[in-house]
Structure formats: C-alpha cells, structure tokens
C-alpha cells in the first residue's frame, strides 16, 4: 500500500546538501511513498525568524501547512530535516493552542484563500518518523535487499527532532529518540552507542562563535570514532553541514585527526534497499564515503 504525502524538502536539501534531496527521491518509490512536492512553500525560519518575530514565523509556516493541507489525498506532510521539523512543530503548537491567535495568523493568508485548519488527525513528520510509524520496521526489514551486516553506524539525531519532547509528540511516541537505532538494526547494521547522539552539532553557532560550534561538531565525531563507528548518520542537513562540510576545520578545533563519513538518513536506508551509492549522491561528501562503500561491497561479496 502506498502512502501519499505533501513533501517539504526544505532549503538546505536543495542548496548545500543536494545529495539529500536526490537520495530521498530515489528512496521514496522503493518504500511506496508518493511525494507531492510543495514547490511554493517557504523557509521554516530555522529558529532564526522565530527569534526575530513570532507572528511572522507563525504566518510563514501556517502558509506552508495550508498549502500541504490542500494536497488532495495526502495523509499528512513530510519533511527531511530535523530543523524544519522542530521549527514547524513550534509554530504548529502555538497555532493549535489558541483559536483567536490562529484566526489572527490566518488573516495574513486570506488574500490567497489559504488557511491553516487545526485538525488532530493531520500531521507533519520527518521521514524518520514516517518510516518507523507509518511504514513500519518490519515492512522495512522485508524490503532490505542489501543487509548492511557488520557496518557500525553512529546515530546523530539533531536537537530539533528530540527536544522538547512535549512539543514533538513523545507523549504518544516515547521511542522517537530511539528510532535511528531501530532502523540501523532493521537494515542489518550495528548502532554505535556514544555520548553525542542526542547532542548539538553546533551549527546554529557557526556564524556567532565558530570555536564553540566546531568544538561541538568535532567532539561528537571524535567520540563516534573512538566507539569504532564506520560512519555517522543524521536526519538533519544542517547537522550534516557542520559534521561533514566543516569536519576538516572541526578537526583543528579539537586538535586531532577526524575523517568519519557522515551519511544522510535516506542515503543509509537507500543503500540497504539496493540503490547504488552514486545514485544516492555519496560522491558529493567532503569526507569521502569510499571506505563505507568498500565495506558494503565486501559484505555483499562475502
């Protein structure tokens, strides 16, 4: 059975991490997900517009929600970015909390005939949540054609998808901060336990305090390396920027060699579903993914 979703890819997956958007497009048909892309939707604000003006960010995201609610036959909205998830959930929480406030925000959408409607059955989920909750770990396991047995994967969630739990639906789904490990196991790989998996990659600080920012990124990568990880995986492209694009610089700030490949979540799933690494854009990383690809090829040959 296929799932049809209104799909918000976010800004960064179409900018500095194009391999994320591409890998999601490759993975979706393998999982019978029909993506109806919201080409007219706007940036979620990434916490920065919220810092500037709450009414503005709530209006912008209400606009995105209204566009998503207008996609016929879609069961909900899907994103592929922890930051989009957190920033949008924050706005949705306020919009849902108060009728007068929601009406006020909807007035900003009225000229185009748009309105966000509160509806407890409507949701906005990161691909990670959708995969575990709506497709299911068992269904995923059945579709694995290339089990990644022996590959040691360090999960890195991204703050916006794990905190605050009350806003992010953890009351109903208390295991959302364990899903990456569950998926890693389901595709035959081994989840690596290390200190940083629920911590901050430092990205929001990169322009304001480069030292703090890259020490955060460097420390988590170092911890994962010390726990014998072959690679790291993250459902957040902003984390990916700090953990992969900035990794060579982060190494200087923690004063040690790093060099750990960091995969986007759909890339890891795609590998297990049999998609070729190149089709998943794994050649477009700063830290080369060759070792991971070689290990997977060896596993397949063995």
Partner 1 sequence: MPAYTLKLRRYDPESGQSAYWQEFNVELAPERSVLDGILQARNDQDGSIGIRCSCQAAICGSCGVRINGKSRLACNTKIGEAAERAEKMGRDAIVVEPMGNMPVIKDLIVDMDAVHWKKVQRVVPWLLPEGDPPEREYIVPAESMIDITQSMACIHCGVCVSACLSMEVDPEFVGPAALAKAYRFVGDPRDAHEEERLRDLAEDEHGIYDCTHCFACVEVCPKDVAPMNQIMRLRRRATGDYGIKDDNNGYGHEKAFVDLIERYGTLHESQLLPRSYGQGSLVRSQLDPHSVKQLITAFPTVVNGLKSGKVAPKAALWHNKLPDQSQVRRIYNEVHSHGERIELNMYIVGESGGEEEGAMAEGSQEA
Pairing of the two strands 3-8 and 76-79: parallel
Query: For residue 4, what is the DSSP state?
Result: E
> Is residue 101 within 8 Å of 91, Cβ to Cβ?
no
CA-based R_g, the chain, Å:
19
Cβ of 256: how many Cβ atoms within 10 Å?
12
CB of 135 to partner 1, least distance (A): 22
CB of 93 to partner 1, least distance (A): 7
> Is residue 77 within 8 Å of 65, Cβ to Cβ?
yes
Query: For residue 205, what is the DSSP state?
Result: G
When the beta carbons of 149 and 283 are compared against partner 1, the nearer one is: 283
CB of 4 to partner 1, least distance (A): 22
CB of 145 to partner 1, least distance (A): 27
CB of 189 to partner 1, least distance (A): 16
Buried (b) or exposed (e) across 83-100, using 16+ Cβ within 10 A? bbbbbbbbbbebbeeeee
When the beta carbons of 175 and 298 are compared against partner 1, the nearer one is: 175
CB of 45 to partner 1, least distance (A): 7
CB of 20 to partner 1, least distance (A): 10
When the beta carbons of 137 and 286 are compared against partner 1, the nearer one is: 286
When the beta carbons of 60 and 273 are compared against partner 1, the nearer one is: 60
CB of 301 to partner 1, least distance (A): 28
Q: Which residue has the tokens 């047995």?
A: 149
> Is residue 157 within 8 Å of 235, Cβ to Cβ?
yes
Taking each helix axis from N to C end, the angle separating 265-272 and 18-30, rounded to the nearest 10 degrees, works out to 40
What CA–CA distance (Å, rounded) separates 267 from 189?
Answer: 14
When the beta carbons of 30 and 199 are compared against partner 1, the nearer one is: 199
When the beta carbons of 99 and 119 are compared against partner 1, the nearer one is: 99
When the beta carbons of 31 and 216 are compared against partner 1, the nearer one is: 216
When the beta carbons of 4 and 284 are compared against partner 1, the nearer one is: 284
> Is residue 235 within 8 Å of 180, Cβ to Cβ?
yes
Distances 215 to 87, 219, 236, 250, 263 between C-alpha atoms, Å: 24, 6, 19, 6, 20
What CA–CA distance (Å, rounded) separates 116 from 95?
Answer: 8
């Amino acid at each position: 059975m296929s799932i049809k979703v209104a799909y918000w890819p976010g800004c960064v997956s179409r900018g500095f991490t194009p391999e994320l958007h591409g890998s999601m497009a490759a993975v979706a048909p393998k999982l019978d997900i029909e993506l109806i892309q919201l080409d007219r939707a706007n940036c979620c604000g990434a916490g920065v517009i919220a810092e500037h003006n709450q009414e503005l960010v709530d209006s912008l995201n209400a606009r995105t929600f209204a566009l998503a609610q207008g996609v016929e036959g879609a069961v909900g909205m899907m994103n592929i970015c922890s930051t989009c998830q957190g920033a949008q959930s924050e706005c949705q929480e306020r919009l849902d909390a108060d009728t007068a406030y929601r009406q006020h925000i909807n007035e900003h959408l009225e000229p185009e005939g748009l309105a966000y409607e509160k509806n407890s059955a409507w949701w906005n989920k990161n691909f990670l949540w959708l995969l575990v909750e709506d497709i299911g770990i068992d269904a995923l396991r059945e579709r694995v054609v290339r089990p990644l047995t022996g590959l040691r994967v360090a999960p890195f969630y991204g703050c916006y998808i794990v905190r605050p739990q009350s806003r992010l639906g953890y009351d109903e789904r208390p295991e959302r901060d364990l899903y990456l490990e569950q998926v890693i196991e389901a595709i035959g790989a081994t989840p690596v336990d290390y200190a940083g998996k629920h911590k901050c990659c430092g990205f929001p600080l990169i322009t304001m305090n480069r030292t703090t920012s890259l020490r955060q990124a460097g420390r988590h990568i170092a911890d994962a390396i010390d726990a014998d990880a072959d690679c790291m995986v993250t459902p957040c492209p902003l984390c990916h920027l700090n953990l992969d694009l900035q990794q060579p610089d982060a190494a200087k700030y923690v004063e040690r060699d790093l060099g750990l490949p960091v995969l986007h979540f759909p890339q890891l799933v795609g590998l297990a579903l049999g998609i070729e690494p190149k089709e998943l854009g794994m050649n477009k990383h700063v830290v080369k993914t060759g070792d991971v690809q070689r290990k997977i090829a060896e596993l397949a040959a063995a």
